[in-house]
Structure 1
Amino acid sequence: MAKRQRKFSWTNFLQRILFITLGAILMGVALEVFLVPNEVIDGGITGISIVISKVTSLPLGLFIFLLNVPFLFIGYKQIGKTFAFSTLYGIAIMSATTAYLHHVEPFTNEKILAVLFGGLILGLGVGLVLRYGGSLDGSEIVAILLSKKTRLPVGQLILIFNVFIFSIAGFVFGWDSAMYSIFTFYIASKVMDIVVEGLNESKSVTIISSEYEEISETIMKRLGRSTTFLYARGGYSKENTQMIYCVVTRLEVAKLKAIVQEIDATAFIAIEHVSDVMGGNFEKSAIH
């Protein structure tokens, strides 16, 4: 039993290394082959590195590594050992890739094409690294540390950080390049979300109805999704009841609503986004 567990751990480790390596290489390709030659930058520490590299004419990979490493050491306790080493490895691979590709001719000199393909490849690379437990930019660590002191949300701090970086890019590369950079960042973030969360987005559904047994059975029969009863008590009626909880795909939401309203038109339905689903045999058991 212990031997099997060890083998499984090594498989996960090798898979993590493989995809973090691939993601870091893809980000390096996006930067050196599409974005940087066309004076389009990324956000975060990478964006700062691109600006400094432009001003000093020194290799981009050098600044990406040197500027990110201190934040990894500062935030080591907050982000954990595994995440820190995964991030350090990914940043090292990305830095080496940018150094290797520094003198390679860009694929295109059309900024629109550079933004579209660069943003796509960049988002794919970053998404792979995030999905497998790492990161390619220390700005998230900075935001986490500042959030604890300023009480501002991490996402809001990252947004402020990137607005500042793109403003600097406007002075260094010109305002056209700054605006192209914003579109690149947007495209990359959307692709990254797809890679991290998957195309088959899931939704959690909570249903309150007096016909909970019939609704539950119908969902299982017609959608092939398992359901869970949660005991509840009405705040106004003071009556005991049971809520239905289940997770479905985005494409099944409309069908689930139709099922519930067909049985009880007055049923309460609450639908929330689910970023990830693991375990519990989420695959469909039957469809009728």
Structure 2
Amino acid sequence: MKHFIAKFGLVAAGGAIQGLGMGLFLFPNYIPSGGAGGIAVLINYWFNINIGLALWLVNVSMLFFGVKVLGKRFAVWTVMGITITSISLHFFEQGFTPDRNLFFDIVAGSVFLGTGIGILMRQGVSNGGIGVVALIISTKRNILPGRPLFVINICIFLVTGIIIDWKIILLALISQWISTKMVDQVCQMTFLQTYTLNWRKK
């Protein structure tokens, strides 16, 4: 029971912090938070499907893929993390004020985003979308998840920029670099080792 309570608390914290970074700093500036958003934009562009539905389809397909590799418990906790993130995002979205410093928003939003994702991934929980693939790679190869997450997201951003528009892509690349560095920093921390994955950097 103690293990469950501790994990629930950390998953809730990770989801809430991730939602804070996206809702209060990144999304109001139209900065994508990850590769799943880029794929959703491409689906919307090619097939004229609502971007919200496209994002949901991407997350669900990745989640099914993750279940086959990481198990059903992974899916349950990931759904919980995604739900808390969505609620947190909606809550913090209301607090955006115009005419803020863009550089500050990128840095602050990326730090919060990476911290939230790192907390989730330490619990073996994905933040949804491409995070599922990054978590599978990091688990199978016993490496920190930030590197595969960064590489995959960058490839998707570049494809999206080439096909649709280069605007915001540079900001997205900066955000991804900062946030994935934070993911690795959080995954390397030694606090609460009883309740976290024992990541080892090769």
Structure number with larger C-alpha Rg: 1
Distance 1:29 1:173 in 2: 28
Instruction: Calculate the TM-score normalised by the size of structure 1.
Output: 0.53
**Which residue is equivalent to 1:23?**
14
* Cα distance, 1:144 vs structure 2: 8.1
**Which residue is equivalent to 2:173?**
182
Distance change (3 Å), C-alpha of 1:142 and 1:134: closer
Q: Deviations over 1:144-203 (max 9, x none)?
A: 889xxxxxxx99875564234313553699535211111111111111111111179xxx
**Which residue is equivalent to 2:102?**
111
Q: Deviations over 1:230-282 (max 9, x none)?
A: xxxxxxxxxxxxxxxxxxxxxxxxxxxxxxxxxxxxxxxxxxxx828xxxxxx
Aligned mate of 2:26, from 4, 21, 35: 35
* Cα distance, 1:66 vs structure 2: 4.3
Superposition map of 1:45-194 within 5 A: 45-49=36-40, 51=41, 64-106=55-97, 109-142=100-133, 161-167=152-158, 170=161, 175-194=166-185
**Aligned partner of 1:275: which letter?**
R
Q: Aligned-pair RMSD on alpha carbons?
A: 3.6
Superposition map of 1:123-272 within 5 A: 123-142=114-133, 161-167=152-158, 170=161, 175-198=166-189
**Aligned partner of 2:73: which letter?**
T
Distance 2:110 2:29 in 1: 13
Unaligned runs of 5+ in 2: 138-144, 192-198
Distance 1:59 1:101 in 2: 21
Contact 1:75-1:145 within 8 A present in 2 as well: yes
Contact 1:75-1:141 within 8 A present in 2 as well: yes
Contact 2:114-2:180 within 8 A present in 1 as well: yes
**Higher relative contact order by CA 8 Å / sep ≥ 6: 1 or 2?**
2
Contact 1:19-1:129 within 8 A present in 2 as well: yes
Distance change (3 Å), C-alpha of 1:91 and 1:170: same
Superposition map of 1:274-285 within 5 A: 275=200
Distance 2:73 2:39 in 1: 26
The structure where helix makes up a greater share of residues is 2
Distance 1:163 1:156 in 2: 11
